[in-house]
Amino acid sequence: MALTTAETIAELTGAAVLNGEATIVGQCLTAVGWVGGTVPQLPDHPGIVELSMADVAGGGIAVGMALAGVPRPIYVVRYQGFLWYNAPSLVNYAAKSRELWGVPCPILVRGIAMEGAIGPVAGSTQHSLVVRMPGLNVCSPITPSEWREAWRRYWLSDDPWFFSEHRKSFGLTEELPTVRRAQPTLTVLALSGVRMDAQSAVARLHERGIEVDLFHQVWIEPREWPDGLLESLTATGRGLVVDADFAQYGLSQSLAHDLMLETGARVETAGLSRRSAGFSKASDNLPPDVEELEALFRSVAQYPSEGGS
């Protein structure tokens, strides 16, 4: 039986801990759920280090462990919104250590995004916060095989890495393939937690005779465009970058800008609205869902809405 993304993470990191090659560090790692089933269930194992609830200190402790030669720290950030508190040591020391002092800092940071009734601080995808700092490798593995490949690349280097994860993906067992159509009218590039809904929206539009190419961005820094993306965008002339992070002033606009320069196509962005999230359903700030993506793809591809002329 195929492993889920969560089971894959737990298997890989658990083997590294048991072999004395890695140390998992974070808050509430062994609490109910074991961080969505991604932390190996090894009670009282010295390779799993529970930190205090001082959110600003965890990143510094993990970075210090890496610099001190402790078996590679895997620092688990349970909510990506907490990066506003615990990323300073990562971006201001780990990311700069090799360039400034010639000292590598082989830390892996698992930043786990989540939305829905968790308020203005903890929630949402926030990878734009870290991707702008040189010296830090950033990727967004969602599926089991993507996580395995990201894990492999991390162990081939001694640089700091940031894995932008999303809890919506933890139950996945199958991959999210590229979608190529014979005569597409739009090219979509999806990241993080919106990828599953983007896949569904593209399939629904196909049933309505609207053809959309869909690509998935996994390797963010250093950047690797998905195979065929530039050719598709050149052919359609219309693109959309959709992310679970904010649509403005961040990664999605940077990707859209570079794609426009490389292809000459018009590329728009979509994601979180520019406002703070509340706890209630009415005040929350969520990425576009399947229905919203379907309408958005139709609009950017310049198709009228359902029932339109």
- CATH number assigned to the domain comprising residue 211: 3.40.50.920
Are both 133 and 70 inside the same structural domain?
yes
The Cα–Cα gap between 250 and 233 comes to 21
Q: Is residue 177 part of a domain?
A: no
What is the rounded CA–CA span in Å between residue 262 and residue 234? 9
- Answer yes or no: do 53 and 154 share one domain: yes
Q: Are residues 252 and 110 in the same domain?
A: no
Q: Report if residue 265 sits inside a domain.
A: yes
Kindly state whether residues 105 and 34 are assigned to the same domain.
yes
In this structure, what token pair is assigned to residue 48? 């799993």
In a domain, 175, yes or no: no
User: What's the distance, CA 69 to chain centroid?
Assistant: 27
For the four alpha carbons of 29, 191, 124 and 75, in that order, the dihedral sign comes to positive
Same domain, 128 and 206: no
| 48 and 111 inside one domain | yes
Is residue 28 situated within a structural domain? yes
Whichever domain contains 103, its CATH number is: 3.40.50.970
Distance, CA of 128 to CA of 137 (rounded, Å): 13
Tell me the whole-structure pTM to 2 decimals: 0.96
In the chain, what is the straight-line distance between the N-terminal and C-terminal CA atoms, in Å? Answer: 48
Residue 289 shares a structural domain with residue 263? yes
Q: Are residues 230 and 112 in the same domain?
A: no
164 lies in the same domain as 192: no
Tell me the per-residue pLDDT of 161-205, one tens digit each, with 9 for 90 and over: 999 999 999 999 999 999 999 999 999 999 999 999 999 999 999
Residues 244 and 121 in one domain: no
90 and 198 belong to one structural domain? no
Residues 81/82/83/88 CA torsion (nearest 10 deg): 150
Q: What gap in Å lies between CA 198 and CA 216, rounded to an integer? A: 10
The answer to whether residue 191 sits within a structural domain is yes
Specify the length of the chain in residues.
Answer: 309
The answer to whether residues 27 and 121 belong to one domain is: yes
Residues with Cβ within 8 Å of 264's Cβ and at least 6 positions away in sequence, in order, are 234, 237
Amino acid at site 87: A
Tens-binned pLDDT, residue by residue, of the chain (309 aa): 899 999 999 999 999 999 999 999 999 999 889 999 999 999 999 999 999 988 889 999 999 999 999 999 999 999 999 999 999 999 999 999 999 999 999 999 999 999 988 888 998 999 999 999 999 999 999 999 999 999 999 999 999 999 999 999 999 999 999 999 999 999 999 999 999 999 999 999 999 999 999 999 999 999 999 999 999 999 999 999 999 999 999 999 999 999 999 999 999 999 999 999 999 988 999 999 999 999 999 999 988 766 543
How many domains does the chain fold into?
2
- Residue at a domain's end among 136, 169, 202: 169
Could you list the residue range(s) of the whole structural domain that residue 90 is in?
A: 5-169
Instruction: For residue 269, give Cα distances in angstroms to 107, 209, 232, 248, 293.
Output: 31, 23, 17, 8, 12
User: Is residue 254 within 8 Å of residue 220, measured between CB atoms?
Assistant: no
Cis omega (within 30 of 0) on the bond before 287? no
Would you give the DSSP letter of residue 47?
A: T
